[in-house]
Amino acid sequence: MAKENTAEWTQDAILGELRRHLQEQRPITLFNTYKGIPITYEAEIAMVHPSYVGVIVHPYQAVCIKYEQRTYLQCKEVTGLIRANPVSVDFTNRVVLLRHLKIPHSISVDLYNSWVKPENPVRVELDSDLGNRQDGELLSLAVLPGNNVRVAVAVPEDFPYTRQDAVELSFKLPERTSLIQVGGVVHSLTEMRNRPEKRLEVAGNAIMQDEVALLAYIAQREDELMKDLDKTYRNLRHSNKWK
């Protein structure tokens, strides 16, 4: 029976549940991202040690675990996702050893929706009801459930908008001649690491024609990134690299 209080899930308790998965030959599910797109596959538990767990993973998951230096595990009995860090990654046998298993207080990355980035810089024009017109650079975009369009833009440090300010974005997607327009509000405005700019995220919506264009672009970038992920795995396997 699952415990309701996540604070009760110590590493020993988590390993105990994973040991049951091993005994009953039940898979777990792993969650990662690759350049903004979710990578989620089932994994087989191969061994459970008092300090770590060994899992047989999908090739693409192995690549993500190497580069992100973490993964999130889901098993039926444990309340919430379990974060773990790799000890080693064997690309030939697809075996990953994981340690430091714990349920995090929060997860900063979106494990369920694709946030795609353009290959080349895309200029974004921002306009507000206050008459302040600014330029920014498109960082990533997503279309969440409920037709919720999200656009992240790099803006100057002295950007004049604040949370919940109304804003309209205009930009051209690669290989398109018409403008995409997204109207919404400032969802967040945060400092960017190692860049003299801020990350502005707008939550809004677009007319059907523009939303269809956004979805098509996201699908195109997903295909490109999955091909890139496959190529990365083959290179790592060929070099027989261990983490």
Angle, vertex CA 215, rays to CA 122 and CA 203, nearest 5: 70
- Tokens 């327009």 belong to residue: 181
From 149, 137, 121, select the one nearest 218 (Cα to Cα).
Answer: 149
pLDDT by residue for the chain (243 residues), tens only, comes to 344 455 678 999 999 999 999 999 999 999 999 999 999 999 999 999 999 999 999 999 999 999 999 999 999 889 899 999 999 999 999 999 999 999 999 999 999 999 999 999 999 999 987 667 889 999 999 999 999 999 999 999 988 888 899 999 999 998 877 899 999 999 999 999 888 899 999 999 999 999 999 999 999 999 999 999 999 999 998 876 544
How far apart, in whole angstroms, are the C-alpha atoms of residue 113 and residue 222?
A: 11
The per-residue pLDDT for 240 is 61
H helix runs in 129-189, sequence order: none
The per-residue pLDDT for 3 is 41
The per-residue pLDDT for 31 is 98
DSSP3 helix / strand / coil % (the chain, rounded to 5): 25, 40, 35
Region for 102 from its dihedrals, namely left if φ exceeds 0, alpha if ψ lies in -120 to 50, beta otherwise: beta
Instruction: Enumerate residues 6+ apart whose C-beta is below 8 A from 151.
Output: 124, 138, 140, 141, 169, 182, 201, 202, 204
Structure tokens that stand for 103 in this block: 């349920």
- Domains defined for the chain, CATH in brackets: 6-102 (2.40.10.10), 123-222 (2.40.10.220)
The per-residue pLDDT for 218 is 97
Instruction: Enumerate residues 6+ apart whose C-beta is below 8 A from 93.
Output: 56
The per-residue pLDDT for 130 is 66
How far apart, in whole angstroms, are the C-alpha atoms of residue 173 and residue 217?
A: 8
Q: Whole-prediction pTM value?
A: 0.89
